[in-house]
Amino acid sequence: MELGAMVRLAHPANRLPNTSSAQPPLRFKLFQAGSAVSLRQRQQILPSKGRWTILAAGAVDSTMQPIVAPSRDVLELWRTAEAVCFDVDSTVCVDEGIDELASYCGAGEAVASWTAKAMGGTVTFQQALAARLGLFRPSLSVVNQYLTSHPPKLTPGIRELVEKVHSRGTQVYLVSGGFRQMIEPAAVLLGIPKENIFANRLVFDDAGGFDGFDEDEPTSRSGGKATAIALIKKQHGYKRMVMIGDGATDLEARMPGGADIFICFAGVQMRPNVAAGADWCVTDFNTLAQGLD
């Protein structure tokens, strides 16, 4: 089964088993909610599959309602996480960096059609990245001109949220399929150190001409965000990590050894498949800030 795939479980007798426990086991709560089950939760449940029936399995069911009121477990994890990772495009910032840069270079439409293809999953991430960059081949001076004339467009509420998360002693990371050169100005505004950015890097030749992208960055490959988060977790020995984003690659980062919960931020882009697979779906950052109180 694919990562991020969902299952629905039901007790065979179609009723809740008796329990006298004050804190019912996770599977009871999930059944009561009739909600989707995350990969992590599924792993906790599947050992007892003799008692439970999988009603549907496979791709995320986008008709499922997103979880807008988090479970106690999810809220607890949000409050006690040692590290919070944010996607950048359409999450921390209201735009998609590569599309904006392409527009600036006069290749907006051509690149947008490739972006749509990449989102549809018909090409690998690295193929789409190489193809899109190949359409406008940005030089160092063009990137610098763009950055000077286009300061980061931060999503409302992100500054306050990051400040609050930082004030609790929690580390904040930016994990993006975009480019470091374009993410660093946003990180500066948010007080996030450079070493907490995991993203791609545009490469230039000695004359400042476009020379591709750094293929050693984990985020340059399909599944790259999951890899990056697993690396961060291992490096720092974090026990609890949260991923927040709007895309399928963000959802994918919730996996054993990676993010423990995934929060869908649908305040800029609403992607039903991603929202349906999330442990919690919000449309504004204030909801997350309040959740910390």
Q: Which stretch binds Mg ion (CB under 5 A): 128-136, 189-197, 244-252, 279-287?
A: 244-252
Contact in structure between 128 and 192 (CB atoms under 8 Å): no
Beta carbon nearer to Mg ion, 87 or 260: 87
Burial class of residue 179, CB neighbours in 10 A (0-12, 13-18, 19+)? buried
- Verify whether residue 293 is a known catalytic residue: no
Site string for Mg ion, 23-62 (x = CB under 5 A): ----------------------------------------
Does 87 bind Mg ion (CB under 5 A)? Our answer is yes
Shortest Å, Cβ 89 to Mg ion: 4
Shortest Å, Cβ 94 to Mg ion: 11
DSSP-derived secondary structure for 163-192: HHHHHTT-EEEEEEEEEHHHHHHHHHHHT-
Q: Which residues of 188-223 are buried (b: 16+ CB within 10 A; e: fewer)?
A: eebebeeebbbbbbbebeeeeebebbeeebbbbbbb
Helices (H) and strands (E) in the chain, counts: 13, 10
Catalytic residue among 61, 87, 206, 246: 87
Shortest Å, Cβ 156 to Mg ion: 16
Shortest Å, Cβ 245 to Mg ion: 5
Catalytic residue among 61, 73, 89, 95: 89
Does 273 bind Mg ion (CB under 5 A)? Our answer is no
Does 247 bind Mg ion (CB under 5 A)? Our answer is yes
Question: Which of 246, 252, 260, 279 touches Mg ion by CB under 5 A?
Answer: 246
Does 89 bind Mg ion (CB under 5 A)? Our answer is yes
Report the C-alpha gap between 229 and 257 in whole angstroms. Answer: 8
**Interface of this chain with Mg ion, residues 163 to 182, rule: CB under 5 A:** none
Does 99 bind Mg ion (CB under 5 A)? Our answer is no
Question: Which of 35, 38, 71, 90 touches Mg ion by CB under 5 A?
Answer: 90
Tell me how many residues contact Mg ion (CB under 5 A): 5
Q: What is the CA radius of gyration of the chain?
A: 20
Helix or strand run (H / E) with residue 235:
helix 224-236
Contact in structure between 198 and 228 (CB atoms under 8 Å): yes
137's torsion region: left (phi>0), alpha (psi -120 to 50) or beta? Answer: left
- Verify whether residue 246 is a known catalytic residue: no
Positions in the binding site for Mg ion (CB under 5 A): 87, 89-90, 246-247
Catalytic residues: 87, 89
